[in-house]
């Protein structure tokens, strides 16, 4: 005779597994810090920081650093560093200037050749690091000097310009108001196309988060309570729409912002979803384990540096187009800004940790500090002091959270 066992309370519970609302300080700390910095400088500048024109200026003026940060975060995740990107920016900008101004090549062909030149530069450095075994710090330090010397040779120690209108538009231009403006009450008019793009971004983000939540529930994983989930989406949507509305009130969306959005989305998918991206994390997290697991460490490292060279060339085109001239001093200290953006954005010094979105956020933090302190009239030495302290605090915070997690 069989007996029926009483159902346990856990079995009687209905609904998906959920957990109480908690904040992962290591993952969310960078965004909380960014919000606090924005609030601080908004108060100090009497709201000038968040005016439509100033928001546009922050994006356009820091676009090349954000492009470099995307490549640099992958290099650092793989356990390496690249000190040459500033010199590569200068050299590739000079190459693009010679091709378009002096040789009068069509601008699409000139940009393509410039990107190929960046790939060759990255391949040259990647070969010494991946296949010859020289530490990336030494290789790229040598590259920083070599490519700066080549820049002076190409330019003849003088600037070359002006650039074609199309390249200047990519660096400084804005999307056209194809659908006209719409009234926003006391805010005035705003570009309809820009607003629709902002709404599309919010809808896409909300759908992606909902799909991730559904997948986790399908695997029986814990998720945050539904009201908290909705609140997070609403908060993110409010921030995105607020920025888009301000841009739409000024001169529409900057073309370089569209480029950055495409790069951020593409590289985020590559880093998180592709085999190549997972191999980068594996190499930086544990080189020996990755090697024993069959990861082609040399090839992955080589292509990471090739990618860094291409993005540095793209940043070189953008920076030269923004100044409308390729100069011998272009790119000075850009490598420091890109590295700082990556580490402030959550990259680990040992490698294996970091996100593309985090690196972009770190770059924006640096940009807001530069812009905010400029608005309040702070001297340059104070700006450098604050940026240095922010970098130190970010790395110290990362080390502290790791120790706390192990404890």
| This prediction's pTM | 0.89
Angle at CA 145, nearest 5°, toward 157 and 92?
A: 60
322 Cβ contact list (under 8 Å, min separation 6): 60, 63, 64, 168, 171, 172
**Dihedral-angle region of residue 106 (phi above 0 means left; psi in -120 to 50 means alpha; beta otherwise):** beta
pLDDT at residue 19, rounded to an integer: 52
Signed CA dihedral, 246, 249, 250, 251: sign only: positive
Distance CA 365, CA 384 (A): 13
Per-residue tokens: 240? 């995105």
Q: Is 305 in contact with 132 (CB distance < 8 Å)?
A: no
CA angle 85, 88, 91 (to 5 degrees): 160
| Mean pLDDT, range 132-160, rounded to an integer | 91
Q: In angstroms, what is the C-alpha Rg of the chain?
A: 23
Task: Using the predicted structure, report yes or no on whether residue 2 has a pLDDT greater than 80.
Answer: no
How far, in Å, CA of 135 to CA of 51, rounded?
A: 45
Most confidently modeled range among 37-41, 86-90, 252-256? 86-90
Contact between 116 and 176 under an 8 Å Cβ cutoff? The reply is no
pLDDT of residue 18: 52
Please report which helix (H) or strand (E) contains residue 177, including its range.
none
More confidently predicted of 333 and 406: 333
Q: Render pLDDT for 320-366 as a digit per residue (tens, 0 to 9).
A: 999 888 888 888 889 999 999 999 888 888 888 889 999 999 999 99
Q: Pick the closest to residue 73 from 351, 366, 390 (CA basis).
A: 351
């Amino acid at each position: 005779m069989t007996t029926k066992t009483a159902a346990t309370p856990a079995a009687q519970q209905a609904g998906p597994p959920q957990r109480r609302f908690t904040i992962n300080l290591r993952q969310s700390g960078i965004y909380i810090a960014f919000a606090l910095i924005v609030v601080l400088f908004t108060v100090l500048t009497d709201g000038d920081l968040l005016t439509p024109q100033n928001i546009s200026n922050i994006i356009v003026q820091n676009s090349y650093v954000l492009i470099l940060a995307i490549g640099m975060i992958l290099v650092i995740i793989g356990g390496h560093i690249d000190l040459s990107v500033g010199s590569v920016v200068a050299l590739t900008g000079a190459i693009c200037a010679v091709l378009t101004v002096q040789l009068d090549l069509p601008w699409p062909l000139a940009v393509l050749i410039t990107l190929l030149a960046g790939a060759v530069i990255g391949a040259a450095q990647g070969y010494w690091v991946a296949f010859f075994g020289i530490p990336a710090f030494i290789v790229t330090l040598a590259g920083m000097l070599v490519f700066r010397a080549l820049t002076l040779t190409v330019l003849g120690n003088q600037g070359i310009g002006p650039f074609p209108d199309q390249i200047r538009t990519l660096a400084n231009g804005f999307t056209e108001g194809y659908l006209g403006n719409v009234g926003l009450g006391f805010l005035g008019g705003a570009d309809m196309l820009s607003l629709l793009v902002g709404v599309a971004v919010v809808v896409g983000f909300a759908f992606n988060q909902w799909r991730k939540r559904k997948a986790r529930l399908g695997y029986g994983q814990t998720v945050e309570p539904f009201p908290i989930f909705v609140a997070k989406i609403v908060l993110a949507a409010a921030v995105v729409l607020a920025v888009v509305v301000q841009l739409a009130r000024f001169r529409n969306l900057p073309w370089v912002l569209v480029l950055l959005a495409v790069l951020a989305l593409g590289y985020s998918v590559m880093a998180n979803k592709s085999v190549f991206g997972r191999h980068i994390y594996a190499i930086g997290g544990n080189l020996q384990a990755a090697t024993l697991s069959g990861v082609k460490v040399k090839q992955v490292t080589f292509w990471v540096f090739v990618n860094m060279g291409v993005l540095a060339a793209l940043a070189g085109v953008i920076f030269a187009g923004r100044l409308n001239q390729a100069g011998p001093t272009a790119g000075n200290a850009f490598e420091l800004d890109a590295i700082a953006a990556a580490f402030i954005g959550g990259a680990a010094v040992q490698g294996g940790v970091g996100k593309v979105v985090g690196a972009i956020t770190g770059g924006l933090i640096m940009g807001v500090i530069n812009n905010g302190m400029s608005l309040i009239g702070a001297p340059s030495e104070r700006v450098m002091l604050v940026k240095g302290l922010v970098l130190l605090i970010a790395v110290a915070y990362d080390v502290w959270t790791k120790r706390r997690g192990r404890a």
